[in-house]
Amino acid sequence: MSGEIICMGSINMDLVMSMNRMPEPGETIITNNFNKYPGGKGGNQAVAASVMGGKVKFFGKLGDDNFSGQLIKSLADNKVDVSSIIIEKKDSAGIAMIRVDEKGQNSISFNPGANAKLSPKDVRKNEDLFTPGGILLITMEIKPETVYAAIRVAKKKGMFIILDPSPVPKDNIPLDISPLVDIVKPNKIEASFITDIKVNDFVSSKKAIKKLLNMGFSYPVITLGAKGVIACLEEEIIKIDPISVKVVDCTAAGDVFSGAFAASIYRGKKLSDALEFANAAATLSVTVPGAQSSIPALEKVTVFLKENKKKS
């Protein structure tokens, strides 16, 4: 790709507690730990794409509170261009409260803060950020109408578009949007909502892939967690097997996948190789707690992927 990666989505501060199990309704569980991590799907993907070798700019909104300042510094420290972040006065960063059980599964509650105020008008006022030959990597943790405005502008400008449809919007994705998206990357739960097909194995995920193709998406990719990845690239269904590791925390695995995938495409890799690389990056991320803190270095992913190819 000849242009940079523009990331759009939420930037949050993640407040995390680990425990043996999730509390039942009305139950209090005492833990001996608490950690604070920069997160948010947009922020996670931006850092992952940057760490994996992409030139990344973030476009979004934050507040003027302390958390917002910390989040901007964290992005900048990871070489993400933060010059296009709009500061909303008297507002706050997004806050995610995360519980993680002993199996690495998580439960998340989220307040978007200033993230929710990024509007289609902001997109139109900043059209010059969208440049031919670049990549738009965008998630649904901001207003759907803002996401769709950005996709329309990006495609008009000749950008390659990667949509992570998380969380799935309440209303159907507009009919004109899916043909504009190059890569749509839901996980199995999101794919089930979008396609009305219960995705739980290879057969059902293959049906969902075909439904996404019929909806107009060029290259659908479904991440299946411990069952790997399935995609349709150049009219061929491919499956990438999972890599076995000890799971510590799954919080940002999908975001690491998306960021690594975008960075690999940015670096000129073909789509099938980019998927393998992203799968390896996401796998490594679940072995470390936290969101952005779990993003592995480019060199580590490269070595890990080579080692596992030798074993297979």
Q: How many residues does the chain have?
A: 312
Residue of 178, 264, 167 lying closest to 219 (CA atoms): 178
Residues 129, 49: Cα–Cα separation, whole Å: 17
305's tokens: 């992927």
169, 177 Cβ separation under 8 angstroms = no
* CA within 13 Å, CB half, 109: 3
Can you tell me the distance from the alpha carbon of 7 to that of 165, in angstroms, rounded to the nearest whole number?
14
Between CA 119 and CA 121 the distance in angstroms is 5
- Are the beta carbons of 198 and 190 closer than 8 angstroms? no
3-state helix, strand, coil in the chain (%, to 5): 40, 20, 40
- State how far the Cα of 6 lies from the Cα of 281, in Å rounded to an integer: 20
Q: Let me know if 255 is a catalytic residue.
A: yes
Catalytic pick among 14, 81, 164, 255: 255
Residue 255 near residue 44, CB atoms below 8 Å? yes
Measured from the Cβ of residue 29, the count of other Cβ atoms closer than 10 Å reads 12
3-state secondary structure of 300: helix
Nearest to 145 by CA among 130, 160, 123, 127: 123
Cα–Cα distances (Å) from 58 to 24, 213, 220, 229, 252, in that order, read 38, 29, 24, 27, 18
User: How far is C-alpha 97 from the chain's CA centre?
Assistant: 18
List active site positions: 255
